[in-house]
Amino acid sequence: MNSLGVKPYVTFLYTDLSNGLVLLQLVDKIKPGTVDWSLVVQNFDPKRRLFQEIGNCNLVVDSAKSINIRLVNVSGEDIQNRDRKLILGVCFTLMHAYTFKLLYEVTQGGRDLPSDDKDILTWVNEQLTEANARPINSFRDPAISTGIPILQLLEHIKPNSTNKSIWLEGDSDDFSLCQYAVSCCRKAGARVFTLPEHLKDLNGKMILTLFACLQVLYFSLKQKAENKQNRIKTNELKWLKLTDDNKPNGVE
């Protein structure tokens, strides 16, 4: 959330989201123009604060619904009441939607765009197979708790983005490797929301978002490489045309 530039800065997840303002910003980042900010209370009246916060939180649910994001069994009052389980569910749902938005942008909505979570798992296993690594059975595959599949995948899509000696020699404990994997993903340019604890505890939802973010990185790198190649071809054609234009008449 903080990496997306929300204001105010989120320090305590449940209390800082309870007035709806940060969540409304997240919805608007997924699809700009979704939130009608004229309906949002941003400066609260101490005597009416409770009702104003619930109103904002109701608007979170309604705005998300308007762009086909379903916040299942969540009401504005649940968010304002700081229901931890439901707020975590809202956060994951919005992160999931935002990540798919990034995937849509980098694939330009083409055939490479994953239609669901299974498509992401299929893509992960295709990349791992190409890297001569063992595929994973699901986003809760025990191997993920070692951090190794993430490092193998990252190294395959962006070579030299990890120090192989750290994770190939087997001297580090699993949690340290999970920390290293997340750190490498971020340094490589992936906008990763997942924490090392999520990998170690096999939190399937957060692991899914990590792989989706790596897929965004993959397509971004692929797009940059294609654009570079197109620029080279364009410059070559310009050079050939310039050469032809400067030839004396009758010279082939």
Structural domains for the chain: 1-109 (1.10.418.10), 114-245 (1.10.418.10)
221's CB contacts (< 8 A; 6+ apart) are 157, 158
Return d(Cα 227, Cα 250) in angstroms, integer.
Answer: 37
Instruction: Report how many helices (DSSP H) and strands (DSSP E) the chain contains, helices first.
Output: 11, 0
Confidence (pTM)? 0.80
194 contacts 210 by C-beta, under 8 angstroms? yes
103 contacts 109 by C-beta, under 8 angstroms? no
Burial string for 61-90 (b: 16+ CB within 10 Å, else e) reads: bbbbeeeebebeebebebbbbebeebbebb
Question: Within 13 A of 94's CA, how many CA atoms are on the CB side?
Answer: 23
- Residue holding tokens 């692929």? 222
- Tens of pLDDT, residue by residue, the chain (252 residues): 888 889 999 999 999 999 999 999 999 999 999 999 999 999 999 999 999 999 999 999 999 999 999 898 999 999 999 999 999 999 999 998 999 898 888 887 777 778 788 999 999 999 999 999 999 999 999 999 999 999 999 999 999 999 999 998 877 899 999 999 999 999 999 989 899 999 999 999 999 999 999 999 999 998 887 776 767 667 666 666 666 666 655 555
Amino acid identity of 187?
K
Quick one: pLDDT at residue 57? 97
Residue 41's nearest CA partner among 19, 72, 26, 15 is: 19
Give the gyration radius of the chain's Cα atoms: 23
19's CB contacts (< 8 A; 6+ apart) are 44, 52, 53, 56, 57, 80
Return d(Cα 248, Cα 193) in angstroms, integer.
Answer: 62
Return d(Cα 99, Cα 104) in angstroms, integer.
Answer: 9
Residue 124 CA, chain-centre distance (Å), reads: 15
Residue 218's nearest CA partner among 128, 141, 134 is: 128
Q: How many CB atoms lie within 10 A of CB 164?
A: 11
> Cα dist. 184→45, 167, 190, 221, 225 in Å?
45, 12, 9, 16, 21
